[in-house]
Amino acid sequence: MPDGSRGREQWESRMGFILATVGSAVGLGNVWRFPTMVARSGGGAFLLIYGAVVLVIGIPLMMAELAMGRGSGRGVVGAFRTLRAGPWWVAGVLASAAVFLILSYYSVIAGWTLLYTALGAAGNLRGMQVAAMEQMFNHVTGGTVLPVVGQVCFVVLSCTVAYFGVSEGIERWGRILLPAIVLLLLLLMGRVILLPGAVDGIMWFLRPDFTQLSVSVSLEAVGQVFFSFSLGMGAVLTYGSYLSRRDDIGNNAIIIAFADVLIAVLAGLVVISALYAFDIDPEVGFGLVFVALPAVFNTLAFSAFWNAAFFLSLSFAAMTSLVSFLEVINAIAMEELGWPRRLVVPLVGLGTVVAGLPSALARGALQDIVLWDRDIMDAVDALTSSALLPLSGLLTVIYVGWVWTARDAAREIAGERPLSQWMKLWMVIIKYIAPLALTYILLAGIVS
């Protein structure tokens, strides 16, 4: 529905906006990074740090991005230019470059989840133990055709959602996919909790071990909040640009943040209790999701069903996130070039597939290419999450706090109401605390 005053598309309902934004936040990051991080970094003690980072940096930054979006009514490049004229639009270009890079490899992993959903449902994973699952993983991700097919299918599906626009596409599908993710995870949880030893696994997952806490663990927590909340890339900003003046930014940000954390913890409980019941060490990354977990599900009756349910929930989570990545670029292209959505979406989809080819082939035909000791996909991931995202987040807070000014941003958030004590605290966070924390992370990331 276009906004009469600005001719911009808008969310149909508050609930639709919340579900779509939680959909952007809940993604592969929740299922494969969060549980391992908690398990290795002090369990309940890490959760306390994570919670503090969510409150002090995550929610205030989400409010800042939503305010920039709604205040400007523009995508990430236009927002920087519209709120204050000057060279700051370059920060928007940086954010969109980061998004495009992440989009390229995220779509490849998303393609794997789609392939695994099909393999699981067809019963092709049935009976395989860890070694066989490893071979299967290398076969699926190391070939030339399969990873590209998976990625193309995933991008086509995501572009189909984006093609129908904000309310008819993104919002409508968010309303279906997000509840489906939660239901599937609850279903898996219901089954996994019945495994002998699962309850011990949950206790182990949540046990507070304060000896594991360190500065670097806190930095990891900040990085994870960034990635998980989709911050620093203009995704939340772009979704905020489709908000109406009536919507309460503070309340919405709190709900979205809590929903993302709850779903991450739910995914953590499923993953960790399943692994614990089988005495498998929760290692980070692909091995966890594509090798260890399916091997665990294979020990259950109806294993094809459990594998398919797990990979389907992952595919849905990846899709709602990918749609938000795409929308960052779509919004920029529609505004800056004046092209219609029906032309922009297929072009952005094509660009994503082409940009993703090196990552799709990183474990196969291009495996000999090594950058910073990593294959291409891991190198792009490291470049974006350790350098570009914190940099782009830092530029965003400096811009909101000092260029647009925290006061003007707070006015945008408060609307007609006078500035509350909470908003004054928010201004302090945006002006001082968040920039210092992000500078620190950026330097620590570069040094390490």
- Which residues contact ligand PFF by CB under 6 A? 24-25, 27-30, 99, 227-228, 230, 233, 235, 321, 324-325
Residue type, 206: L
CA pseudo-torsion sign 419, 420, 424, 429: negative
Give the ranges where 73-214 is alpha helix by DSSP (H). 76-83, 89-121, 130-142, 146-163, 172-192, 198-206
**Minimum CB–partner distance for residue 332 and ligand PFF (Å):** 13
Buried b (16+ CB within 10 A) or exposed e, 38-50: bbbbbbebbbebb
Helices vs. strands in the chain: H and E counts, helices first: 23, 2
Block residue for tokens 């409508």: 172
CA gap 40, 383 in Å, rounded: 23
**Considering beta carbons, is residue 104 or 324 the nearer one to ligand PFF?**
324
Tokens of 107: 């779509």
**Considering beta carbons, is residue 113 or 218 the nearer one to ligand PFF?**
113
CA atoms within 13 A on the CB side of 356: 31
> Where does residue 94 rank: exposed (0-12), middle (13-18), buried (19+ CB within 10 A)?
buried
In degrees rounded to 5, what are phi and psi of residue 27? Answer: -155, -160
**Considering beta carbons, is residue 261 or 376 the nearer one to ligand PFF?**
261
**Minimum CB–partner distance for residue 328 and ligand PFF (Å):** 6
**Minimum CB–partner distance for residue 110 and ligand PFF (Å):** 10
**Considering beta carbons, is residue 72 or 321 the nearer one to ligand PFF?**
321
**Considering beta carbons, is residue 267 or 277 the nearer one to ligand PFF?**
267
**Considering beta carbons, is residue 24 or 41 the nearer one to ligand PFF?**
24
Torsion of CA 122, 120, 381, 393, to 10 degrees: 110
**Minimum CB–partner distance for residue 330 and ligand PFF (Å):** 12
**Minimum CB–partner distance for residue 62 and ligand PFF (Å):** 12
**Minimum CB–partner distance for residue 117 and ligand PFF (Å):** 17
**Minimum CB–partner distance for residue 228 and ligand PFF (Å):** 4
**Minimum CB–partner distance for residue 439 and ligand PFF (Å):** 21
**Minimum CB–partner distance for residue 227 and ligand PFF (Å):** 5
Q: Beta partners for 3?
A: 8
Tell me how far the alpha carbon of residue 355 is from its chain's centroid. Answer: 19
**Considering beta carbons, is residue 298 or 359 the nearer one to ligand PFF?**
359
CA gap 214, 225 in Å, rounded: 17
**Considering beta carbons, is residue 24 or 117 the nearer one to ligand PFF?**
24
SS3 349: helix
CA gap 126, 159 in Å, rounded: 32
**Considering beta carbons, is residue 28 or 63 the nearer one to ligand PFF?**
28
**Minimum CB–partner distance for residue 256 and ligand PFF (Å):** 11
Cα of first residue to Cα of last residue in the chain, in angstroms, is 47
3-state helix, strand, coil in the chain (%, to 5): 75, 0, 20
Helix (H) or strand (E) holding 2: strand 2-3
**Considering beta carbons, is residue 143 or 445 the nearer one to ligand PFF?**
445
**Minimum CB–partner distance for residue 29 and ligand PFF (Å):** 3
Residue type, 416: E
**Minimum CB–partner distance for residue 385 and ligand PFF (Å):** 9
CB-nearest residue to ligand PFF: 27
**Considering beta carbons, is residue 30 or 167 the nearer one to ligand PFF?**
30
**Considering beta carbons, is residue 62 or 277 the nearer one to ligand PFF?**
62
CA gap 323, 169 in Å, rounded: 10
Which residue, among 95, 104, 106, has the nearest Cα to 390 in the 3D structure?
A: 95
Inter-residue contact 396 to 94 (CB < 8 Å): no
CA pseudo-torsion sign 265, 269, 275, 276: positive
